Structure 1
Amino acid sequence: MQSRNWKRIVIKVGSALIAPNNSGCSSHYLLSIAQFIVRVRSMGIDVVLVSSGSVAAGAHLFPNDTKSNIATKKAMAAAGQTEMMSTWDKLFDFPTAQILLTHGDLRDRERYVSIKDTIFTLLDNGILPILNENDTVTTDKLKVGDNDNLSAMIASAADADVLLICSDVDGLYDKNPHTHDDAKLLSLVSNIDESIYAMAGSATSDVGTGGMKTKIQAAEKAVSHGIDTFILNGFSELPFNMLLQGKNPGTHFKPHETPMQEHLHWMTHTSSAEGEVVVGDSFDSPLDAQSKELTSEEILAVNGNFSVGDTILVRKDDGTKLAKAKSNYSSCLLSFIAGQNDKKFANALQHRTGPIISDKNIALLEEQ
């Protein structure tokens, strides 16, 4: 691992490893992961742990509830989080810290930077950050939904060199290895495209929320930020020993040679669009620094309610997504100038107020 020159690792551990039998937390599968973390830290490499498992850990405390409605799952998360943290804490002889967050925290730039600062401060003081989605308070609007994608967002925020996503299989196969004996493991993925996503099956764990698809989504987020990403079998000690020997333990997703800039990566993969600006299907400006500015007469519609500084989606009328960008106008003002028949008035207002979106705050999207 020293030959790789890694300085910081993010490890994602799922619910099936934390509470495999729905009877509370178990250290059975966590010991090898903890030993790996100890050895890595002894080599001078920072570690950040993203750990699912609060709901699974607390489920056994609600034996009479068979419906597991949303309120009960939130209660399970509240009860199970302390048990999960206690289990991790007992495996280390150094201090750990808990960070609970929602997507609402990550997609707000100010809170996102605050999370970064907290992680760096903990690492500077030799404390292991353990992060999880705050299932007790999160809502559909505010949740990431799975810790695979959350781990990729955290890896970006933590300026990690590598993301390790623990799975119940050895990596990405060309078909489901649980149902096909001739399934072949892909040791290296240089480009994540539709053919890679087609290989992903559904979740195979009874207690987890993510399957192989969410792991590929996480890998796509991470590699675009220049982060080496591995999917490996977390139920075995062997993959972690292989990593220590500098070997590939599963499927290695190769990072982009030219990583996306941090603020553009945040806007593309973490920030959520609060609204939309719709342009005509014939709109052909790439919205980059070399293009002309987006003008009011090119706007067909403004959808959603957003304020100055919010992230918005710019798309064509046919649904093609062009870019995510920071809006310099509120939805109210944009709707007003977009509906003006007097272009001179709209252009004068735009000239006085500035561009609708700045070329410094645009994340171009592949047409999708």
Structure 2
Amino acid sequence: MNFTVLSDLRSARRLVVKIGSSLLVQRGQPRGEWLAALAAELAGLRASGQQVIVVSSGAIALGAARMGMAKGGRGSLEDAQAAASVGQIELARLWSEALAAHDIVAAQMLVTLGDLEGRRRYLNAAATLERLMAAGAVPVVNENDSVATEEIRFGDNDRLAARVAQAAGADAVLLLSDVDGLYDRDPRSDGATLLPQVDGITPEIFAMASTKSGSGLGSGGMTSKLKAAEIAERAGIALAIVNGTLTAPIARALDGGIGTLFLPQRHDDARKSWLGGRLAPAGVLTVDAGCMAALQTHASLLAAGMTEVQGDFARGDLVAVFGPKGERLAQGLVEYSAGECRAILGLKVEQQAPVLGYVPRGCVIHRDHLVQL
């Protein structure tokens, strides 16, 4: 699909809508009227022929209020896990009742980082989403914060929404935020200008963002939304950031053209889309300038071009590839363990057999298992 303006999202066959904690919960209480209005909008999208997936935060905030926990339940990992366990029941009830008012069945789906990082579990999640939508339900997805740890988690539902969109084969993602979209500087600054469209994430675009979540309830901020846009744009998915604080925020944004639309940049196949969206590489390979140039022509990564190996990984693990100045170039599935990579660092293929003790493979990462970032 060709998306050029925000109103084009109304033509998306399948749309992921992400709602943050600060929109759904205020002072520990759900915003009932706001949620009812949003549910009516989602029902309207479905009535027009769109399939909708909701990615909703709020479990920790709701659970912390119910349990009387300090710092909104984020004082420690244990507090967050316990608050999420209590709050997820309330969050599911809120969505079930809000959508039931429009004769829509809500389906709860809790995922962890591992569910979308491993290929088999990713395909299982994709199949579940597909079946739910075929049955007419609206999946309501959240990270399973009751078991997630600081090391193994998405950390924000913005990137989760982009990964869910990939798994579901969605056309577009709508991130409801507490600002109108991406500004060229801090939106509180004089002269700050809202960007209606972004044609590719660049370092200059990242420089415009804040890492802070304004409400203190969430775990994201504009930087996390830009990282989500990166995932989406590589998968051929449009992503928009719009203001969700007002009543009926979707109509305001799409009909009024108020927000920022990030245009798709590539249309990777399903496997490369999954590889490019993975968030937890097990190690890092640093390469020289010659290897970096070769990778940019879609070549495989050879040991002769490697200058450094970081991490402890096994054959088949995901590793990141960095350039000589620390720029992140790519990521892919490695053909050797970390120890073997260190052993053949900088060596040509004909020099590797004596070091490895066996006939070497053709490359360290084959181009079919390597995704440019």
TM-score by length of 1: 0.87
Contact 1:274 1:311 in 2 (8 A): yes
The offset of 1:161, in angstroms, is: 1.1
* Cα separation, partners in 2 of 1:171 and 1:297, compared to 1, 3 Å: closer
TM-align CA RMSD:
2.9
Contact 1:17 1:235 in 2 (8 A): yes
Contact 2:13 2:49 in 1 (8 A): yes
Aligned to 1:129: 139
Q: Does 1:30 align with 2:39?
A: no
In 1, the alpha carbon distance for the partners of 2:9 and 2:78 equals: 48
In 2, the alpha carbon distance for the partners of 1:311 and 1:7 equals: 32
Aligned to 1:330: 337
Aligned to 1:63: 68
More helix by share: 2
Aligned to 1:191: 200
Query: 1:14 pairs with 17, 20, 31, which one?
Result: 20
Contact 1:281 1:318 in 2 (8 A): no
In 2, the alpha carbon distance for the partners of 1:144 and 1:196 equals: 22
The offset of 1:155, in angstroms, is: 1.4
Aligned to 2:83: 76
In 1, the alpha carbon distance for the partners of 2:23 and 2:337 equals: 46
* Cα separation, partners in 2 of 1:96 and 1:285, compared to 1, 3 Å: same
* Cα separation, partners in 2 of 1:311 and 1:346, compared to 1, 3 Å: farther
The offset of 1:230, in angstroms, is: 1.5
Q: Does 1:85 align with 2:92?
A: yes
Q: Does 1:272 align with 2:272?
A: no
The offset of 1:322, in angstroms, is: 3.5
Q: Does 1:159 align with 2:165?
A: no
1:13-43 CA distances to partner (integer Å, 9 max, x unpaired)? 0001221122x33323212211111111112
* Cα separation, partners in 2 of 1:21 and 1:43, compared to 1, 3 Å: same
Number of residue equivalences: 360
Structure 1 unpaired stretches of 5+: none
Q: What amino acid maps onto 1:58 in structure 2? A: G
In 1, the alpha carbon distance for the partners of 2:190 and 2:14 equals: 36
* Cα separation, partners in 2 of 1:349 and 1:181, compared to 1, 3 Å: same
Contact 1:13 1:165 in 2 (8 A): yes
1:199-245 CA distances to partner (integer Å, 9 max, x unpaired)? 32332113111112222222232123222222111122354224675
Q: What amino acid maps onto 1:76 in structure 2? A: A
Contact 1:170 1:250 in 2 (8 A): yes
Structure 2 unpaired stretches of 5+: 1-6
Q: Does 1:248 align with 2:257?
A: yes
In 1, the alpha carbon distance for the partners of 2:126 and 2:95 equals: 22
The offset of 1:120, in angstroms, is: 0.7
Q: What amino acid maps onto 1:343 in structure 2? A: Q
The offset of 1:97, in angstroms, is: 1.3
In 2, the alpha carbon distance for the partners of 1:290 and 1:187 equals: 32
* Cα separation, partners in 2 of 1:39 and 1:2, compared to 1, 3 Å: farther
In 2, the alpha carbon distance for the partners of 1:197 and 1:321 equals: 14
Contact 2:113 2:153 in 1 (8 A): yes
1:42-68 CA distances to partner (integer Å, 9 max, x unpaired)? 122110100001110111123264683
Contact 1:313 1:321 in 2 (8 A): yes
Q: Percent identity?
A: 33
Aligned to 1:223: 233
The offset of 1:99, in angstroms, is: 1.4
In 1, the alpha carbon distance for the partners of 2:327 and 2:197 equals: 31
